[in-house]
Amino acid sequence: MLNVYCQYSYAGYKIYRLYADGIKEVTATEKYDLPKSSITYFSRYGIKEALLPLPEGPWMLLVHDIPTNELDDMGRKKNCSLQIIATDKEAKSQLVKTAIIIANEMSSFQKLFAAMFAIKDTLTFDYDSFQTFLSETGTHGDMKKYGKPWDRVYTQDAALILYSGSSLDSSLSEVQHLISNKDKMKAVSLQWDSATCRPSAMNGMKCIYDLIQRILDRLNIWKD
C-alpha cells in the first residue's frame, strides 16, 4: 500500500493525508499513520527528491518545492511538498519506479500534481487521477531506458537523493540522524539543477564513484 501525504499552504502550511474520500489534516494527536521521521523531512529543505528507508522501517519518496497554482501575496507561486510511504514490499517496488520517473520527468510531474489541487469551499485533491498516475508508473516495465546511474536504484536497492544545496552533506545536515551511513554511502546522489529542472549529469569523479559502488554491489558488500 502507498500512503500519500502533502504539505500545502491552505490557511497556513499544513500537512495532509490524501484519501479517496477527502483530505485529512495531520495534527499532534492524529498522524494518520505518518511516521514521526517524515515530519522532519517535511520541515527541512536542501533535498529536491529522495527515495530513502525511514528509521521506522517503511520507504519514503519525498518531492520538495513543487510549484502550485496558488499565488502568495507577492504574486509568486506557492510551493508544496509530497511524501509517499510504501507500507510493504510490493508497494516499495512501485515506489522505486515512481521515484525514477519523477526525477527524470520532474517538470511534467509538477504540472500534473499541481493541477490535482483545487480550492472551492475547501481544499480538494483529485485522488483518483493521482492513483492512476501511480498505477501507470508502478507497472512501467522499461526502466532500462533511463540508463546510469538510475539502474542502481531499481536493481541494487540503492537509495536516491537529489540534493539542492552546495554539497550533499550540507543538504542533508538537518536529517543526517535519520539516514544510516550504509544508505548514504550506497545512495545514488546527484545535485539538482533548478534552472533546467533536472538532476545534474555525473562528472568524472561521480562516474568513478558510481563504478566503485557497482563493484561493491557485486561483492555484496552492502548485504545485511
* pLDDT in the model for residue 221: 67
Look up residue 96 and give its three cell numbers. Answer: 522505486
pTM of the model: 0.94
* pLDDT in the model for residue 33: 96
- Summarize the confidence of residues 144-170 as an average pLDDT: 93
Q: 161-173 in b/e burial notation, b at 16+ Cβ within 10 A?
A: bbbbbeebeebbe
Q: Who has greater pLDDT, 167 or 143?
A: 167
Is 177 strand, coil or helix? Answer: helix
Q: What is the pLDDT of residues 100-110, one digit of tens each?
A: 999 999 999 99
* pLDDT in the model for residue 97: 94
**Residue 158's pLDDT band (cuts 50, 70, 90):** very high
| 138: CB partners within 8 A, 6+ apart | 93, 94, 97, 98
Averaged pLDDT score across all residues of the chain: 92
CA distance 209 to 224: 21
Would you say 194 and 49 are in contact if contact means Cβ atoms under 8 Å apart?
no
* pLDDT in the model for residue 210: 92
Q: What is the pLDDT of residues 85-136, one digit of tens each?
A: 999 999 999 999 999 999 999 999 999 999 999 988 899 999 999 999 999 9
The domains of the chain are located at 2-218
Q: What is the pLDDT of residues 160-194, one digit of tens each?
A: 999 998 899 999 999 999 999 999 999 999 999 99
CA distance 143 to 154: 8
* pLDDT in the model for residue 224: 56
Q: Is the dihedral of CA 30, 31, 36, 37 positive or negative?
A: negative
**pLDDT at position 195 over 80:** yes
Q: 73-88 in b/e burial notation, b at 16+ Cβ within 10 A?
A: eeeeebbbbbbbbbee
CA distance 109 to 15: 20
Question: What would you report as the CA-atom Rg of the chain, rounded to the nearest whole angstrom?
Answer: 17
Would you say 133 and 126 are in contact if contact means Cβ atoms under 8 Å apart?
no
Would you say 37 and 54 are in contact if contact means Cβ atoms under 8 Å apart?
yes
Partners of residue 71 on adjacent β-strands: 77
> HSE on the CB side for 139, CA within 13 Å?
5
